[in-house]
Amino acid sequence: MRKGYWLLWMCMTWCAVAMAQQTKDISGKWYGITSSYYGDKQRLTVALEKEGEGYKGELQNPDHDNEAIDLDHIIYRGDTLLLRIDTIRFAYTGVWNPAEKQFEGVFTWGGLKGTFNLSRKEIRQSDVYNRPQEPKPKYPYHTENVQFNNERDHVSLAGTFTRPFDWGRYPVVVLLSGSGPQDRDDEMAGHKTFLVLADFLARNGIASLRFDDRGTGSSGGVYSQSNIYDFANDAKAALEYLKTRKDVDPYTIGLLGHSEGAAVAQIAAANNKSVAFVVSLAGLGVTGREMVDQKVVLDGRMSGASDAEIKERLQRLKPYWDALASDTNYTVAAARAKAALHDIYRDSPEDIKKQVSEEAFTSDIQFDRELSSILLYKPLDYLKQIKCPFMAINGTRDLQVDATSNLNAIERALRENGNMLVTIRKFDGLNHLFQRCKTCTVAEYGDLEQTIDPLVPEFIAHWILQLPPRPR
């Protein structure tokens, strides 16, 4: 009998808990932070209220605008919460964690995926990122918002010129950002790399000009219709503008490019006597097509794949990337790449076909003029035309641009063509953004508090200041 009472008591207790979970009121506001592939974070607020036996609600994004979007589907059963907005392809699945008093789960938003937890604790903007290196006004140097024109392409560009307070003619660096539409601070995952770099340079006697990419921020033009050669024309326009300023030494104007911006600097500096020096941060020395294969290898090693598995991935993806790099007309190349994807899918194992349909597998080709120009880019064509002092640095833990092969290729191309003013340096333990990293994956960018390792701007400034004077 006691056993029977015990089972009855357990059943009643479980039923009571289950009913409590079913009837738990989740009305009100819930707060969370999403994180994207590159570690960019943003706050989201979910507001719910009872409607009959269920709920209605809306999603707010306070970091972009406060306009709310109605939730199309809200399902709350037991300890699981499901949310969906069909128009923006947003979906969330969270499970209640009583110890942490929050729903813990994952979201998909368009092509993005990531973790997303919802709690009752309100999240302030200052809670999203901690960036101790970011300088705050009042700055101990002169800053000026400026505009200049790319007359060739009829594009107006807006940026910030920074120099030491005291009047004088200063050496100056044009800062060129990496891929994607970037603002003048080259902001990514809450890190304002160019702001931090400009701050250090100004404190050490070097001026800088950083500007919004065309079609971004306050700059004109259309980014999606541009490629690295268009961006090089923007860089040349910046050089011409700086030569008109009385607080700039016109014989000591250089270019500093990060990642794709380093390729832009190579193009702009080729056979260009206006460029006094070039600084390449995580720049290409191998061709764009080779870089893609290198990234597959780096990603594979990071995930623990065997050499045989990495080789198989390279072979499987080769027709796709070869197709993308097959034509200067990116529309033609994209069509060929889509056909290659169909062939890859049809030759894939059955377990892959069970996870994704052929339509979904071939539908999301992210390809445009910018990527087309990078895939077809051959650094040697431009490096052999650069005769000014050239410094190239990379981090040894960079999983996007391999340090050794690219630095070796840059040095070889410059020296074989008579440029002996070459400085090559690898920084141990730094990632693609020159942060001291742990996992060193791109998803970690936003989690790291360091924006750039202090050794890097120090090395850059010292190198610029000790350059030999140019003939005037």
List, for residues 395-410, the tens digit of each pLDDT value.
Answer: 999 999 999 999 999 9
The count of other CB atoms within 10 Å of the CB of residue 307 is: 10
List, for residues 214-264, the tens digit of each pLDDT value.
Answer: 999 999 999 989 999 999 999 999 999 999 999 999 999 999 999 999 999
User: 199: Cβ–Cβ under 8 A, 6 or more apart, which residues?
Assistant: 135, 139, 141, 162
Least confident window among 169-178, 205-214, 300-309 = 300-309
- pLDDT category of residue 45 using cuts at 50, 70 and 90: very high
3-state secondary structure of 418: coil
Cα torsion angle, 319, 322, 323, 324, sign = positive
User: Is 142-287+377-465 assigned to CATH 3.40.50.1820?
Assistant: yes
The CATH fold of domain 25-127: Lipocalin (2.40.128)
* Spatial distance between the Cα atoms of 163 and 383, rounded to a whole number of angstroms: 29
List, for residues 133-167, the tens digit of each pLDDT value.
Answer: 999 999 999 999 999 999 999 999 999 999 999 99
User: 218: Cβ–Cβ under 8 A, 6 or more apart, which residues?
Assistant: 147, 158, 212
Residue 435 has pLDDT above 80, yes or no: yes
Residue 365 has pLDDT above 70, yes or no: no
Give the global pTM.
0.85
- Would you list the DSSP string of 358-376? HHHHHH-----HHHHHHHT
Instruction: Name the nearest CA neighbour of 161 among 176, 174, 179.
Output: 174
Region of residue 205 (phi > 0: left; psi between -120 and 50: alpha; otherwise: beta):
left
